[in-house]
Amino acid sequence: MDLWFTEYQTPAVGLACRVTRTLLRQKTAYHDMAILETEAFGRMLVLNGAIQLSTADEFVYHEMLAHVPLQAHGRPRRVLVVGGGDGGTVREVLRHPSVEEVVLAEIDQEVVSACQAYLPEVAGGLSDPRVTLAIGDGVAHVESHPGSYDVILVDSTDPVGPATRLFSREFLESCRRALRPGGVVAAQTESPFYHREVMARCFSDFQATFPVTGVYLAPVPTYPSGLWSFMVGSLGPDPSRPADLDGLAAGATRYYTPEVHRAAFVLPRFVQELVGLVQPAVRP
Amino acid sequence: MDLWFTEYQTPAVGLACRVTRTLLRQKTAYHDMAILETEAFGRMLVLNGAIQLSTADEFVYHEMLAHVPLQAHGRPRRVLVVGGGDGGTVREVLRHPSVEEVVLAEIDQEVVSACQAYLPEVAGGLSDPRVTLAIGDGVAHVESHPGSYDVILVDSTDPVGPATRLFSREFLESCRRALRPGGVVAAQTESPFYHREVMARCFSDFQATFPVTGVYLAPVPTYPSGLWSFMVGSLGPDPSRPADLDGLAAGATRYYTPEVHRAAFVLPRFVQELVGLVQPAVRP
């Protein structure tokens, strides 16, 4: 059988993947969830038609969402992941020897259970004794934990439906209050090719909320356009520089290095323009 | 009518684009050529089913193929572009005030004519008095022009069919001989996610041919995986550093900046491993 899954990344662009097996298809309280085995990208988690991860390229996204803010912080002890029920971000957080506790605030228990069953190389870290699962509303969790975390990682789905609130300025304010002194927040913030308005608004919110901010980029082939952005807000550390080169064992990562960390903040001219870091040039 | 074009980037992955108009469909001596107007990516040149450029993202590819070696060289006067019949690379080369002559060695006159007719913002530079069109075999052109060029840019299609020879060590040797002292060669070398063997072999050939070499990356959403690689061989200049910051007018580019130039050579760990710059790590 010639079976294909297509994600319509916009009404005018689709990424089509040949599927070797449908491992799971389930309606949860929040998502139309599927776990597919694809020929090109390995196993894939799909929520409401959108690829959340593939085992071929999730290392880029998860390493860059986790290690940039954790390395910038230097000595993170308590870390919160909002969303990220697949466990990939938690897996990367656990590579930092200073981390004592990771809380995963995920709204959908069934996503967690499905990933534990079908994506053990991604979700395996969730059974680590340092991890606490807080199934429920991530916004409420953040609001009710002031001064609690060294690093908060917002590993959300796209800004539609329940995830919309994770892209609001109010939520960023709550994140700031939930940080300990010297804390750092990082969030996935969509594609500079496809979601310019989302990025522009998000960065304006980060700048209004945090004394130190930054934007960084990484390639994720199964995400729309293949280029993904992240934003970071800090109460102290410069997010574009790793504070402690000994925090992460050399060779533990496949994408991240301290040099990649710094280079990821070097933005192409059009991205500097779209987030307002430079004025748009007048071009011939 | 709901018209879609799908490029099967591999037998298991397709990029599907909604088409608003088919501007041209033509069989040339070398290519099944189409120029499409797409909703997401603007106008698109497709050769033998593979997207060569879209007006939405060609600036990244053409700026990075041209400006990295030209800025590394510093004072390029004579430049050869092999392939690149769409004219986008030539357009970028012409932004360098030191350039006196650009030769375009393109095998397919009909590609040039079609782009001049339908993609004037890409091909417009081809009518510049500094440009010489050399329609014919690029390999023969390079072989017959020893000691002639400051910079050679290999703007080839994928390594199938006639372009295969542009990925051979013999061709790189010819390019080295065609350079003037201090000359630089750069080539597009496919995707680190999809074409690992091509990249590994190409970099080995560059290292065997040139005293100074480098690999750099840039995101191109309409190319397979969205992440593209380039390799550079130099007879003198360090390709990873712009030699002359005044060579290119500030604001002339949408992707390239001198800082982006340096950052593009900072390779993720898995790319360092696949081209043999570091030993593969043993990972848990």
CB atoms within 10 A of CB B3: 12
| Residue (of A262, A283, A261) closest to A273 by Cα position | A283
Name the average pLDDT for chain B. 96
CB atoms within 10 A of CB A245: 11
Instruction: Tell me the chain A residues in contact with residue B63 when contact means C-beta distances shorter than 8 Å.
Output: none
CB-closest option in B10, B41, B260 to A268 = B260
How many Å lie between the alpha carbon of B24 and the closest alpha carbon of chain A? 20
Give percent of chain A above pLDDT 70. Answer: 98
**pLDDT tens digits, one per residue of A66-116:** 999 999 999 999 999 999 999 999 999 999 999 999 999 999 999 999 999
Largest CA distance in chain A: 59
The confidence score (pLDDT) of residue A122 equals: 98
CA separation for the pair B153, B186 (Å, rounded):
5
* Residue of A254, A267, A283 for testing the chain B interface, max B β-carbons within 10 Å: A254
Instruction: Tell me the chain B residues in contact with residue A225 when contact means C-beta distances shorter than 8 Å.
Output: 219, 221, 226
Q: Which residues pair with A229 in a beta bridge?
A: A217
**pLDDT tens digits, one per residue of B17-71:** 999 999 999 999 999 999 999 999 999 999 999 999 999 999 999 999 999 999 9
* Residue of B9, B225, B272, B279 for testing the chain A interface, max A β-carbons within 10 Å: B225
Q: Element (H or E) spanning A142, and its range?
A: helix A138-143
A42 touches B at CB < 8 Å:
no
For residue A16, the chain B residue with the least C-alpha distance is B14
CB-closest option in B16, B193, B256 to A13 = B16
The confidence score (pLDDT) of residue B162 equals: 78
Residue whose tokens read 């840019």 = B153
Q: Are B275 and B199 in contact (CB under 8 A)?
A: yes
Contact (CB<8Å) A283/B254: yes
Q: Are B269 and A262 in contact (CB under 8 A)?
A: no
Contact (CB<8Å) A281/B250: yes
B277 touches A at CB < 8 Å:
no
What is the DSSP track for B201-249?
Answer: HHHHHHHHH-SEEEEEEEE-TTSGGGEEEEEEEESSS-TTS-S-TTSS-
The answer to whether residue A284 scores a pLDDT higher than 60 is no
CA separation for the pair A73, A186 (Å, rounded):
11
Q: Which residues pair with A22 in a beta bridge?
A: A36
The confidence score (pLDDT) of residue B245 equals: 60
Contact (CB<8Å) B262/A266: yes
Q: What's the mean pLDDT in A24-30?
A: 97
CB-closest option in B12, B255, B259 to A270 = B255
Region of B111 please: left (phi>0), alpha (psi -120 to 50) or beta.
Answer: alpha
Cα B196 to its chain centre, rounded Å, is 18
C-alpha angle with apex A103: A136 to A125, nearest 5 degrees? 110
Report the relative pairing of strands B32-38 and A179-188 from DSSP bridges. Answer: unpaired
Set B57, B155, B158, B205: catalytic member = B155
Q: Are A242 and A236 in contact (CB under 8 A)?
A: no
**Residue A21 burial by CB count (10 A; 0-12/13-18/19+): exposed, middle or buried?**
exposed
Touching A: B residues 190-209, CB under 8 Å = 193
Q: How confident is the model at residue B130 (pLDDT cuts 50, 70, 90)?
A: very high
CB-closest option in B193, B217, B263 to A266 = B263
| Residue (of B53, B216, B155) closest to A266 by Cα position | B216
CA separation for the pair A73, A150 (Å, rounded):
8
B40 touches A at CB < 8 Å:
yes
Q: How confident is the model at residue B160 (pLDDT cuts 50, 70, 90)?
A: confident
A240 touches B at CB < 8 Å:
no
For residue B8, the chain A residue with the least C-alpha distance is A16
Give percent of chain A above pLDDT 90. Answer: 92
How many Å lie between the alpha carbon of A223 and the closest alpha carbon of chain B? 9
Instruction: Tell me the chain A residues in contact with residue B95 when contact means C-beta distances shorter than 8 Å.
Output: none
**pLDDT tens digits, one per residue of A169-178:** 999 999 999 9
For residue A227, the chain B residue with the least C-alpha distance is B219
CA separation for the pair B3, B18 (Å, rounded):
6
CB-closest option in B14, B259, B260 to A16 = B14
Instruction: Tell me the chain A residues in contact with residue B284 when contact means C-beta distances shorter than 8 Å.
Output: 252
Instruction: Tell me the chain A residues in contact with residue B4 when contact means C-beta distances shorter than 8 Å.
Output: 14
How many Å lie between the alpha carbon of A264 and the closest alpha carbon of chain B? 8
Q: Element (H or E) spanning A92, and its range?
A: helix A88-93
**Residue A1 burial by CB count (10 A; 0-12/13-18/19+): exposed, middle or buried?**
exposed
Q: What's the mean pLDDT in B162-169?
A: 90
Instruction: Tell me the chain B residues in contact with residue A21 when contact means C-beta distances shorter than 8 Å.
Output: none
Contact (CB<8Å) B57/A12: no
CA separation for the pair B132, B134 (Å, rounded):
6
Instruction: Give the A:B interface size as CB pairs under 8 Å.
Output: 133
The answer to whether residue B284 scores a pLDDT higher than 90 is no
Instruction: Tell me the chain B residues in contact with residue A6 when contact means C-beta distances shorter than 8 Å.
Output: 14, 16
Kindly give, in sequence order, each residue whose CB lies less than 8 Å from that of residue A160, ignoring residues fewer than 6 positions away. none
**pLDDT tens digits, one per residue of A215-269:** 999 999 999 999 999 999 999 999 999 986 667 877 799 999 999 999 999 999 9
| Residue (of A275, A183, A278, A190) closest to A228 by Cα position | A190
A221 touches B at CB < 8 Å:
yes
Retrieve residue A172's tokens.
């960023």
What is the DSSP track for A31-44?
Answer: -EEEEEEETTTEEE
Q: What's the mean pLDDT in A124-138?
A: 97
Q: What's the mean pLDDT in B1-15?
A: 96
Q: Look up B155 and say whether it is catalytic.
A: yes
**pLDDT tens digits, one per residue of B62-116:** 999 999 999 999 999 999 999 999 999 999 999 999 999 999 999 999 999 999 9
Contact (CB<8Å) A254/B283: yes
